[in-house]
Chains A and B, each alone.
Chain A
Amino acid sequence: SQQGEEDPQALSIQEGENATMNCSYKTSINNLQWYRQNSGRGLVHLILIRSNEREKHSGRLRVTLDTSKKSSSLLITASRAADTASYFCATDNNQGGKLIFGQGTELSVKP
């Protein structure tokens, strides 16, 4: 079963625009992580935000976490064609450390 649900399922934007993806989850968490997957390849870890953190930055990525609403968002600023990929949120709800992934958002950045 999935813990996180990403929204939207698909997003298409032009290069240079910002992309925002949202993730909602159901149970309390230890941390929430975002991953990227290029078609058929392994997932790449982007950023981890702990339950006591509200915002985190890494390069062009900005992640927010609202534990009261059980939601997180990933913002990619000044997108590039190379950002085209599927983006997944994953929650660690402190049940032994397992990461439960959502269904992902498919991002397409057009040059």
Chain B
Amino acid sequence: DSGVTQTPKHLITATGQRVTLRCSPRSGDLSVYWYQQSLDQGLQFLIQYYNGEERAKGNILERFSAQQFPDLHSELNLSSLELGDSALYFCASGRGVNTEAFFGQGTRLTVV
């Protein structure tokens, strides 16, 4: 158990809908990362927050947004969902910005 909690574990939703994925980092970790993993694209970095502020951005679609709250938990919002958004979404946390990352078990999103 990495200490990173992601909810929900599974999510099935229809195209065009909006979902929110939630992540609680390990106690004491200030960094939160979001990744998307699919068979054809591999592990894609989406976005990173550090102590509530956006730190780095990857190939995150405009339909996706995220934030980190004062209690350091983070949410990833995916809107206007398309079939191609079906993937595993991972959250990871770390102590700082150049340290190892600890991954949650992921949310498996299926868009039908």
- Give the interface of A toward B (CB within 8 A): 1-2, 30-31, 33, 35, 40-45, 48, 88, 90, 92, 94-104
Do A97 and B2 have beta carbons less than 8 Å apart?
A: no
B residues in contact with A42, CB < 8 Å: 2, 4, 90, 103-106
A-B contact pairs, 20 of them (CB 8 A): A33-B101, A42-B104, A42-B106, A43-B90, A43-B103, A44-B2, A44-B103, A45-B100, A45-B101, A90-B101, A97-B50, A97-B55, A97-B98, A98-B45, A98-B55, A101-B42, A101-B45, A102-B42, A103-B42, A104-B42
Do B103 and A31 have beta carbons less than 8 Å apart?
A: no
Q: What is the bound-complex CA distance between A105 and B52, given in angstroms?
A: 34
B residues in contact with A41, CB < 8 Å: 105-106
Q: What is the bound-complex CA distance between A74 and B71, given in angstroms?
A: 37
Q: What is the bound-complex CA distance between A31 and B100, given in angstroms?
A: 10
- The bracket for how many chain B residues form the interface is 20 to 34
Which of A94, A97, A100, A101 touches B96 (beta carbons < 8 Å)?
A97
A-B contact count (CB 8 A): 70
Chain B residue at minimum C-beta to C-beta distance from A48: B100
State whether the Cβ of B56 lies closer than 8 Å to any Cβ in chain A: yes
Q: What is the bound-complex CA distance between A110 and B104, given in angstroms?
A: 28
Do A45 and B43 have beta carbons less than 8 Å apart?
A: no
Minimum CB–CB distance for B50 against chain A, Å: 7
Minimum CB–CB distance for A105 against chain B, Å: 12
Do B58 and A98 have beta carbons less than 8 Å apart?
A: yes
Q: What is the bound-complex CA distance between A88 and B55, given in angstroms?
A: 23
Chain A residue at minimum C-beta to C-beta distance from B101: A99
